[in-house]
């Protein structure tokens, strides 16, 4: 049975970061003016080993977690990532099922790795793609990598059986709302599930303001100007996206409205950074150090007890209280955890 926090929310999902580096410099996550050539990224010696990451996964599995998402930074930059996936995929949940393993990536290295990732036991992949137009894409990602390379990775993932492949697009007002319809046109009928995410004030989004938020409702109105949608029934209460299907043809479109319609009340996700810090909210200001329980002398059960102790005291609901938090503390210090450290 799942443990629950102070608001009655169960622990169901673990987002496991394996590296804090990325080969993109997306403006809302790792802007180059902060993450420049001199930025002190975590040295490889400080990253959790695959054995430590596997121990964390086993501890969370014993607490009822049935899904692990591998994140970064860019997780495909972690050498030998397939070996970790093999270990995680071999874990059995308390209900007796195999652990579900997913991964989020910018897609730039996916074409070369999709088959080996699937063979290692990866079940699903989510690719971040904020624009179809190369100029807009390169402006947002601050990279010279073309959109075609990301699309090649998505195609390879589909061919390898990492289905359904999901594509996430962060929409920032005045920057890429023009890409909403082109993205829908591109993926409609392909089997790829497209999701639009509101621009959030996560660590890294140093220029965030509410005026830059293009809401999920507004994005849906743009899409329905050309493609009628109908809501999909049976949404799990812990899902972050509200999903729709095309009434004409096939395909799904989802909306993650974490600013305009927060879903803190059903959040069941924990995050562990590549240096062993447990975060109970994407907007946390501090983590809980798990390193004392990752030594050879500590058992999986002791680590699980430490996680249980923290989760049962959890009362985070930043998105529901966003205005109050931002009035009390200046944006430059809240939130402080880097998006690239804990993943999305």
Confidence of residue 253 (pLDDT cuts 50, 70, 90): very high
User: Which pLDDT belongs to residue 152?
Assistant: 98
User: What letter does residue 175 receive in the DSSP assignment?
Assistant: T
Backbone angles phi, psi at 105, to 5 degrees: -145, 160
Query: Over the stretch 84-106, which tens digit does the pLDDT of each residue have?
Result: 999 999 999 999 999 999 999 99
User: What domain count does the chain have?
Assistant: 1
Contacts of 312 (CB under 8 A, 6+ apart): 3, 4, 5, 6
pLDDT beyond 60 at 41: yes
Full domain range(s) for residue 106 = 13-165+266-342
pLDDT beyond 80 at 156: yes
Order of strands across the sheet with 269-272? 229-231, 242-246, 252-256, 193-198, 166-171, 124-128, 100-105, 67-71, 13-17, 269-272, 277-279, 288-289
Per-residue pLDDT, averaged over 303-323, amounts to 90
Q: How far is CA 30 from CA 140, 264, 323, in A?
A: 10, 25, 24
Query: Over the stretch 198-224, which tens digit does the pLDDT of each residue have?
Result: 998 776 556 778 889 999 999 999 999
The answer to whether residue 122 is domain-embedded is yes
CA angle 9, 48, 46 (to 5 degrees): 125
The answer to whether residue 316 is domain-embedded is yes
Q: What is the residue whose two structure tokens read 């970064």? A: 72
Contacts of 221 (CB under 8 A, 6+ apart): none
The answer to whether residue 201 is domain-embedded is no
Peptide bond between residue 164 and the one before it cis (omega within 30 degrees of 0): yes
Confidence of residue 333 (pLDDT cuts 50, 70, 90): very low
The answer to whether residue 194 is domain-embedded is no
Confidence of residue 137 (pLDDT cuts 50, 70, 90): very high
Contacts of 188 (CB under 8 A, 6+ apart): 227, 246, 249, 250, 251
The answer to whether residue 224 is domain-embedded is no
State the distance between the two ends of the chain, measured CA to CA, in whole angstroms.
Answer: 26
pLDDT beyond 50 at 334: no
Q: Under a CB-based contact definition with an 8 Å cutoff, are residues 60 and 270 in contact?
A: yes
The answer to whether residue 242 is domain-embedded is no
pLDDT beyond 70 at 323: no
The answer to whether residue 85 is domain-embedded is yes
- When the pLDDT of each residue in the chain is averaged and rounded to a whole number, the result is 91
More confident residue, 31 or 337: 31
Per-residue pLDDT, averaged over 227-253, amounts to 86
- DSSP, collapsed to helix, strand or coil, labels residue 163 as coil
User: Which pLDDT belongs to residue 200?
Assistant: 85
Q: How far apart are CA 73 and CA 273, in angstroms?
A: 10
User: Which pLDDT belongs to residue 335?
Assistant: 47
User: Which pLDDT belongs to residue 343?
Assistant: 73
The answer to whether residue 42 is domain-embedded is yes
Q: What is the pTM of this model?
A: 0.93
pLDDT beyond 50 at 17: yes
Q: Which of 223, 256, 227, 258 is nearest to 242 (CA)?
A: 256
CATH number at residue 105: 3.20.20.70
Confidence of residue 45 (pLDDT cuts 50, 70, 90): very high
């Amino acid at each position: 049975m799942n443990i629950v926090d102070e608001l009655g929310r169960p622990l169901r999902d673990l987002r496991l970061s394996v590296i804090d580096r990325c080969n993109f410099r997306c403006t809302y996550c790792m802007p180059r003016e902060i993450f420049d050539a001199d930025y002190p990224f975590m040295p490889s010696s400080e990253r959790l080993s695959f054995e430590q990451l596997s121990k964390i996964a086993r501890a969370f599995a014993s607490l009822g977690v049935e899904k692990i998402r591998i994140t970064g930074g860019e997780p495909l930059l972690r050498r030998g990532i397939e070996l970790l996936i093999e270990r995680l995929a071999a874990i059995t949940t308390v209900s007796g099922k195999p652990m579900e393993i997913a991964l989020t990536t910018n897609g730039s290295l996916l074409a070369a790795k999709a088959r080996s990732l699937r063979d290692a036991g990866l079940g699903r992949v989510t690719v971040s793609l904020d624009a179809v137009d190369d100029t807009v894409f390169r402006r947002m990602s601050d990279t010279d990598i073309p959109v075609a390379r990301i699309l090649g990775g998505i195609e390879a993932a589909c061919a390898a059986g990492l289905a359904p492949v999901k594509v996430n697009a962060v929409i920032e007002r005045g920057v890429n709302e023009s890409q909403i319809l082109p993205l829908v046109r591109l993926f409609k009928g392909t089997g790829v599930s497209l999701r639009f995410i509101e621009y959030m004030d996560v660590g890294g989004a140093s220029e965030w303001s509410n005026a830059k938020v293009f809401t999920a409702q507004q994005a849906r109105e743009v899409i329905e100007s050309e493609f009628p949608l109908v809501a999909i029934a049976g949404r799990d209460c812990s899902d972050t996206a509200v999903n729709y299907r095309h009434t004409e043809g096939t395909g799904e479109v989802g909306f993650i409205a974490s600013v305009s319609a927060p879903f803190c009340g059903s959040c069941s996700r924990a995050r562990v950074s590549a240096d062993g810090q447990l975060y109970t909210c994407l907007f946390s200001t501090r983590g809980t150090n798990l390193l004392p329980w990752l030594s050879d002398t500590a058992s999986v059960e002791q680590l699980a007890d430490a996680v249980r102790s923290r989760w049962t005291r959890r009362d985070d609901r930043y998105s529901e209280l966003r205005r109050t938090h931002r009035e009390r503390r200046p944006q430059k210090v809240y939130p402080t955890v880097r998006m690239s450290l804990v993943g999305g």
